[in-house]
Chain A
Amino acid sequence: MKPMKLVMVGNGMAGVRTLEEVLKLAPDLYQITVFGAEPYANYNRIMLSPVLAGEQTIQDIMLNDVDWYRENGITLHLGKKVVKIDRKNRTVHAEDGTSAEYDRLILATGSLPFILPVLGNDLDGVVSFRDIHDVDRMIDAARKFRHAVVIGGGLLGLEAANGLKQRGMDVTVVHIADWLMERQLDETAARMLQKSLEQKGLKFLLSKATGQIIGNDGRVTGLRFKDGQEIPADLVVMAVGIRPNTRLAESAGIHCDRGVVVNDTMQTYDPRIYAVGECVAHRGTSYGLVAPLFEMGKVCANHLAQMGIGRYTGSVVSTKLKVTGIDLFSAGNFGGGPGTEEIVLSDPAGGVYKKLVLKDNKLEGAVLYGDTVDGAWYFQLLREGRSVAGIRDHLMFGQSHVGDTGHLGQNKAAAMSDEMEVCGCNGVCKGNIVKAIKENGLFTLEDVRAHTKASSSCGSCTGLVEQILASVLGGDYSPQPKTKPLCGCTDHTHDEVRRAIREHKLLAIPEVMKFLEWRTPDGCPSCRPAINYYLISTWPHEVEDDPQSRFINERAHANIQKDGTYSVVPRMWGGITTPAELRRIAEVAEKYNVPAVKVTGGQRIDLLGIKKEDLPGIWADLDMPSGHAYGKALRTVKTCVGSEWCRFGTQDSTRMGIDLEQAFYKMWAPHKVKLAVSGCPRNCSEAAIKDVGVIGVDSGWEIYIGGNGGIKTEVAEFLAKVASAEEVLEYSGAFLQIYREEAYYLERTVHWLQRVGMDTVKQRVLEDAEGRKAAYQRLLFALRDEKDPWRERAKEGVQRHEFETITL
């Protein structure tokens, strides 16, 4: 088939990102031609501010050089401005006569700086701040002249002013509003910002309206305000806003309303013509930050690649000011309004100001000045629209996990030296990450993971990696959106996949992929295990488990080790064993030359370093059930000795633990599940950091849920107090079943609880007695007749091929 012709007008950040996505999805579908009015290949416009400030060079900020276009077979017309779209003949024409035909056209023409309609705005020395050309002119002026005036005290204006100051000019910022960045900041924060900028030597004239720019011999010499005051100026930078560049679209009769109007699939009124980036008006909004533009690009590419499933539904944005030494972050609606409440921390002397705006128990907006460490976290809460009722009392103090494993704050990230290790699991230093971000033009956490492996293992350094991204990129970094697809094979979210499986009674992985139009023929290592779990948990006894869609540990029912051997952890109910059992373990260890025998942190015994071929034999000889130490499943139920032996014990915690373990044994779950039972509040089995923790008291049992002792310690929350052991089983079983049915794959109980809220769970487990009983019954039904996987493999020859090597 002959490839279709795809033409793009505008060679900027949004457009080229769209092409990258198209090439990823459908590399051969189009023959691509790009027109760019600027004489440069694609560069990181955001970084013009550090270039102006002398902190980076143009070479540093190139994202795609001309070789990239060549390697991808793209015809690139640089320095050619398109002036006409002939929609009838589907051709675009550039100023110099170059033309190109299209089957599909992308408009990515960006914005134009707004120029104040005052006398003298065309004088030599009056510039805007938009592209490399503008920056060159400013750098040149800084060499020759002294007085710079920046009109506009917004993000762009302040970055321009800072850059010119760094280049040695005497800079005055003129702003029409009463305080700086009035669209992003409230007055208190703005005053603090102004003070620190003044300390850097900038001057400010606020509440000033420019009347005229005065000049001599065609060159600017000063500024006159409407109130008559005059100041000298050799350079005037207009940074008073941008307007979507719709000229070309309008001249072609494409509907525009402030921006080029597009629908949720990024199509304009001419269905062959798409538009992305700052030139667009989507649902009445135009965006001026790259994060939403990249989201648009992704959706547009999906449709161009004929996948037809992405939708762009708008974005919440956050901003940061890229002035070295100043930490400023704002997001969402921080202005307040009816029904909102504010939490404010104000320490002007200490240089810290934070304001959080809440509405209906959700975070609506945030302004942080002086300490922006938690910006990413607040932004995530904001976008997810998650209830913060439960964490309200410490919300202001930020994401509390400030610890050794990396969550140390962005100031720290910026201050870290390049050799300092960020990701302990993969041995990645800060320098590697910064280099990867710069060299490969990375923008998201996932990109960094793919290129460096940092934070791709245990994830505990995720916060730090995000902060490094933020410190390198400035405001264009945004944490992952809440509508995250399950994986790269689809645009559907976990919820959507679960719903489809339930509502359409899908019973096998290929069926799910077909129904939801997966992009890959048989998925990937992220989605296959997730779908497999969703299937078996939704339709127990009806769906057949797919071993090939399980990670090796769950496929072989043993933990793979770094040298390719396996470990075996048999179940010891509630941590209780017998001399006979210990003897058997000892004999097995000797018979198979097991190199290491270890008591685990979960009250049982681990045989390490076992060859895969020996697994079935060892299981047969041990004759003990699987401990599922390898699975997203019920792991251990830790117990203490309890009232049977302990002088303080109030309840028989060992028995309770064994009962729980035997009831829920063989339970697959979204993630691993650990339980513990203690006989009194001294809590020797550490029940407070378990997914379900049970603590005996004189009058019965207290049940706690959502604890976690792993990467980030979380203390379990109190769920209920019950009188009998039967109730402990029913309440914990119901809780676990709802978790099994509703959490996302690889979400532990605590993270699921944080997402859905403790109140919801209490309502369903405590208040709705019918619902609780039904959920418990569903769990028992799912577990009924489940076989022990070791027994099946050791004695019944199940999956024999998994353990046999073919020897030639």
Chain B
Amino acid sequence: MSDWVKVARLDEIPRLGARVVRSAGKEIAVFRTAEDQVYAMHDQCPHKGGPLSQGIVAGRQVTCPLHGMRIGLEDGQAVAPDHGCVPPIPAKIEDGAVYLRI
């Protein structure tokens, strides 16, 4: 069973940045775009497990800090020509708070 869980206020996540949420021992990266959409996924790059939360966010992509693989925030897919995928975690904003379904 998964439920919507409140994790932070929107303003606790920097625009064009991310925060790390630790839940049941797993790290989740929660991103915020310039237009204030939020996206979440496991904080693990499909390439060699780099922490995606530490990457640079631009448009709806994050670039892994270790070797520069780009991951789409909406679907967790690596941007061509790279291959790989991180399963996305549903995220939403309500009344200025960020919720994840975990």
- Same assembly: yes
Structural contact, A808 and B21, CB atoms closer than 8 A: yes
Structural contact, B22 and A524, CB atoms closer than 8 A: no
Question: B27 contacts which chain A residues (CB < 8 A)?
Answer: 805
Structural contact, B16 and A806, CB atoms closer than 8 A: no
Q: Of B5, B16, B19, B68, which one neighbours A808 at CB under 8 angstroms?
A: B5
Structural contact, A801 and B19, CB atoms closer than 8 A: yes
- How far, in angstroms, from A805 to B21 measured CA to CA in the complex? 6
Residue-wise, chain B 1-44 has the 8 Å CB interface mask toward A (1 for contact) of 00001011000111111011111100100000010000000000
Question: A481 contacts which chain B residues (CB < 8 A)?
Answer: none
User: 12 A-B residue contacts at CB 8 Å?
Assistant: A451-B81, A525-B58, A548-B17, A549-B56, A560-B66, A562-B48, A564-B49, A805-B21, A806-B8, A806-B21, A807-B21, A808-B23
Known contacts A552-B65, A560-B65, A808-B22; A528 and B7 CB within 8 A of each other: no
B88 within 8 A of A: no
A523 within 8 A of B: yes
- How far, in angstroms, from A529 to B48 measured CA to CA in the complex? 24
Q: Which of A531-558 contact B (CB under 8 A)?
A: 547-549, 551-552, 556
Q: Please name the 8 residue pairs, one residue from A and one from B, whose CB atoms are nearest each other, closest first.
A: A525-B56, A548-B16, A552-B54, A564-B51, A808-B23, A525-B63, A552-B65, A451-B81
Question: A808 contacts which chain B residues (CB < 8 A)?
Answer: 5, 7, 21-24, 102
- How far, in angstroms, from A90 to B90 measured CA to CA in the complex? 49
Size of interface on A: residues with Cβ below 8 Å to B: 30
Q: Of B19, B57, B58, B65, which one neighbours A551 at CB under 8 angstroms?
A: B65
A456 within 8 A of B: yes
A760 within 8 A of B: no
Structural contact, A548 and B65, CB atoms closer than 8 A: no
Q: Which of A350-395 contact B (CB under 8 A)?
A: none
Question: B55 contacts which chain A residues (CB < 8 A)?
Answer: 525, 552
Structural contact, A453 and B16, CB atoms closer than 8 A: no
Structural contact, A801 and B5, CB atoms closer than 8 A: no
Q: Of A548, A562, A805, which one neighbours B15 at CB under 8 angstroms?
A: A548
Structural contact, B66 and A524, CB atoms closer than 8 A: no
A316 within 8 A of B: no
Structural contact, A523 and B65, CB atoms closer than 8 A: no
Question: B7 contacts which chain A residues (CB < 8 A)?
Answer: 806, 808
- How far, in angstroms, from A804 to B30 measured CA to CA in the complex? 13
Q: Which residue of A lies closest to B57 (CB)?
A: A548
Structural contact, A521 and B34, CB atoms closer than 8 A: yes
B21, B27, B48, B56: which has the most chain A beta carbons within 10 Å? B56
Structural contact, B51 and A522, CB atoms closer than 8 A: no
Q: Of A456, A521, A560, A564, which one neighbours B59 at CB under 8 angstroms?
A: A521
- How far, in angstroms, from A798 to B41 measured CA to CA in the complex? 27
A56 within 8 A of B: no
Given A525-B58, A560-B51, A805-B27, list of 6 further CB < 8 A pairs? A548-B56, A564-B49, A564-B54, A805-B21, A808-B22, A808-B23
- How far, in angstroms, from A451 to B81 measured CA to CA in the complex? 5
Q: Which of B44-89 contact A (CB under 8 A)?
A: 48-51, 54-59, 63, 65-68, 81
Question: A804 contacts which chain B residues (CB < 8 A)?
Answer: 19
Structural contact, B68 and A456, CB atoms closer than 8 A: yes
A426 within 8 A of B: yes
Q: Which residue of B lies closest to A806 (CB)?
A: B21
Taking the closest CB of chain A, its distance from the CB of B89, in whole angstroms, is: 12
Q: Of B20, B34, B57, B63, which one neighbours A806 at CB under 8 angstroms?
A: B20
Structural contact, A520 and B59, CB atoms closer than 8 A: yes
Q: Which residue of B lies closest to A522 (CB)?
A: B34
- How far, in angstroms, from A453 to B69 measured CA to CA in the complex? 10
Structural contact, A457 and B22, CB atoms closer than 8 A: no
Taking the closest CB of chain A, its distance from the CB of B59, in whole angstroms, is: 6
Question: A562 contacts which chain B residues (CB < 8 A)?
Answer: 48, 66
Say which size band chain B's interface belongs to: 20 to 34
Structural contact, B58 and A522, CB atoms closer than 8 A: yes
Question: B56 contacts which chain A residues (CB < 8 A)?
Answer: 524-525, 528-529, 548-549, 551-552
- How far, in angstroms, from A115 to B63 measured CA to CA in the complex? 54
Structural contact, A805 and B20, CB atoms closer than 8 A: yes
Structural contact, B81 and A457, CB atoms closer than 8 A: no
Question: A451 contacts which chain B residues (CB < 8 A)?
Answer: 81
A450 within 8 A of B: yes
Q: Which residue of B lies closest to A425 (CB)?
A: B67
Question: B17 contacts which chain A residues (CB < 8 A)?
Answer: 547-548
Known contacts A806-B7, A806-B22, A808-B23; A801 and B12 CB within 8 A of each other: yes
- How far, in angstroms, from A807 to B27 measured CA to CA in the complex? 9
Question: B34 contacts which chain A residues (CB < 8 A)?
Answer: 521-522
Known contacts A521-B34, A522-B59; A560 and B19 CB within 8 A of each other: no
Structural contact, B54 and A801, CB atoms closer than 8 A: no
Q: Which of A443-468 contact B (CB under 8 A)?
A: 450-451, 453, 456-457
Structural contact, A805 and B22, CB atoms closer than 8 A: yes
- How far, in angstroms, from A453 to B67 measured CA to CA in the complex? 9
- How far, in angstroms, from A564 to B49 measured CA to CA in the complex? 9
Structural contact, B19 and A806, CB atoms closer than 8 A: yes
Q: Which residue of B lies closest to A457 (CB)?
A: B67
Q: Which residue of A lies closest to B50 (CB)?
A: A564
- How far, in angstroms, from A562 to B24 measured CA to CA in the complex? 24
Q: Which residue of B lies closest to A524 (CB)?
A: B58
Q: Which of A695-739 contact B (CB under 8 A)?
A: none
- How far, in angstroms, from A548 to B31 measured CA to CA in the complex? 12
Taking the closest CB of chain A, its distance from the CB of B11, in whole angstroms, is: 10
Q: Which residue of B lies closest to A560 (CB)?
A: B65
- How far, in angstroms, from A556 to B18 measured CA to CA in the complex? 13
- How far, in angstroms, from A450 to B69 measured CA to CA in the complex? 10
Q: Which residue of A lies closest to B33 (CB)?
A: A522
Question: A440 contacts which chain B residues (CB < 8 A)?
Answer: 81
- How far, in angstroms, from A339 to B7 measured CA to CA in the complex? 73
Taking the closest CB of chain B, its distance from the CB of A567, in whole angstroms, is: 14
Structural contact, B58 and A450, CB atoms closer than 8 A: no
Taking the closest CB of chain A, its distance from the CB of B56, in whole angstroms, is: 4
Q: Which residue of A lies closest to B43 (CB)?
A: A564
Q: Which residue of A lies closest to B56 (CB)?
A: A525
Q: Which residue of A lies closest to B12 (CB)?
A: A801
Taking the closest CB of chain A, its distance from the CB of B90, in whole angstroms, is: 15
Question: A556 contacts which chain B residues (CB < 8 A)?
Answer: 54
Known contacts A525-B56, A548-B17, A548-B57; A807 and B67 CB within 8 A of each other: no
Known contacts A805-B20, A806-B21; A520 and B67 CB within 8 A of each other: no
Q: Which of A489-528 contact B (CB under 8 A)?
A: 520-525, 528
Q: Of A523, A525, A548, A807, which one neighbours B14 at CB under 8 angstroms?
A: A548
- How far, in angstroms, from A722 to B66 measured CA to CA in the complex? 44
Q: Which of A410-454 contact B (CB under 8 A)?
A: 426, 440, 450-451, 453
Q: Of A520, A801, A807, which one neighbours B22 at CB under 8 angstroms?
A: A807
Taking the closest CB of chain B, its distance from the CB of A506, in whole angstroms, is: 18
Question: B14 contacts which chain A residues (CB < 8 A)?
Answer: 547-548, 801
Q: Which of A764-803 contact B (CB under 8 A)?
A: 801
Structural contact, B68 and A525, CB atoms closer than 8 A: yes
Taking the closest CB of chain A, its distance from the CB of B101, in whole angstroms, is: 13
Structural contact, A522 and B54, CB atoms closer than 8 A: no
